[in-house]
Amino acid sequence: MTDYFVIDAHVHTYKTPEIGRQALSGFDMSGCCGTPEELVPIMRQAGISLAIQCNMTPARSMFEAAVAGLPPDRLETDRSAIIGKLTDRVRRRNEWTCQSAREYVELVPFLSVDPIMGREAMMAELEDKIDNHGARGLKVHPGEGHFFPDDPAMMPVWEMLAQRGLPAISHSGPDIANPNPDYTRPRAFASILERFPGLNLVMAHLGGGYYDEVIEIAGRYPNAYFDTSASLPGDKDGRPLLLRSKSLTDEEAVELIRRIGVDRVLFGTDYPWFHPGQDLKRFLGLGFSEEEKQALLGGNARRLFNL
């Protein structure tokens, strides 16, 4: 337990252990499977008050798998039907995320959309889940979706969020589902941050290792934020995971976060890939002042997400 008000700004939840383990794709270093029934007791034991559900549907990957075996003469006729089914999958996933947040007060629902759905379907889904189901923000993964953040299809999405004062969280940095790292490196978000100054955008994973770009973006755009998910993993003894040899050391982490700005960084874990209790234990041991820890562990997220 901890005396701080802690918000885990980046978790993923799944309906069943089987779905969660499939999403982990063998990278289950934490021993977790990703269900709310598993996560919430972990949070309570660790002293984590709230967690932001950054759930998403890998629509692009599903689309490519669906069309891979189609003959060319069927591709055009079947494409709309496939996209319709994928859009339904996205809707059901978002609805389940919102429902799980109603069942567990510790969970905060973010919804997800993808340009492959089409502009009209994306906007309708945003409005429905925000207005009728309690979604508090948006999670996107441009790498998985094979689009740049300033894709024209995303412009009305960013505009709506900015107008409503709702935040967005995006994957940033490399990813196994990302064919082009340029989709999600921090500099890819610069034009969005400039065009929509009212949009508060969190780049996950401390920018995925592009630390020079992170510092530059943070210095230029006051609406740019970062979370620590998957960047500061802790093993059961609170030390960096040996499997994450490129992880920041404790000293490097403190220096980097202070250069970014303590008020611009949020504690996050990327559960179930990492264990929230173990990651929090390591974070509590970092050389921040009490005031800095209060901001990083919960104060910044509470302000940014209006919690």
pLDDT at residue 220, as a whole number: 98
**Is 65 strand, coil or helix?**
helix
Q: What is the pLDDT of residue 70?
A: 82
Range of the domain at 188: 6-304
pLDDT at residue 28, rounded to an integer: 77
**Could you tell me if residue 157 is inside a domain?**
yes
Q: What is the tally of structural domains in the chain?
A: 1
**Rounded CA gap, 87 and 21, in Å?**
23
pTM, rounded to two decimals: 0.94
In a domain, 57, yes or no: yes
Residue 229 is assigned to a structural domain of this protein: yes
Asked if the peptide bond before residue 272 counts as cis, ω within 30 degrees of 0, the response is yes
Provide the pLDDT for residue 238.
Answer: 43
Within 8 A by CB and 6+ apart from 219, the residues are none
Quick check: is 252 in a domain? yes
Q: Look up residue 251 and give its two tokens.
A: 């000293």
Query: With left for phi above 0 and alpha for psi between -120 and 50, is residue 34 left, alpha or beta?
Result: left
Reading the chain (307 residues) residue by residue, the pLDDT tens digits are 678 999 999 999 999 999 999 999 888 789 999 999 999 999 999 999 999 999 999 999 999 999 887 887 787 779 889 999 999 999 999 999 999 999 999 999 999 999 999 999 999 999 999 999 999 999 999 999 999 999 999 999 999 999 999 999 999 998 877 778 899 999 999 999 999 999 999 999 999 999 999 999 999 999 999 999 999 998 744 444 444 445 789 999 999 999 999 999 999 999 999 999 999 999 999 999 999 999 999 999 999 999 9
According to DSSP H, which parts of 48-199 are helical? 59-67, 72-103, 119-132, 142-145, 155-164, 190-195
- Residue 226 located in a structural domain: yes
Integer Cα distance of 42 and 38 in angstroms: 7
SS3 108: strand
Q: Domain holding 78: CATH number?
A: 3.20.20.140
Please report where in the chains the tokens 């029934």 appear, as a residue. Answer: 37
pLDDT score for 106: 98
Instruction: Give SS3 for 284.
Output: helix
Report yes or no on 1 lying in a domain: no
pLDDT attached to residue 239: 45
Q: 196 lies in a domain?
A: yes
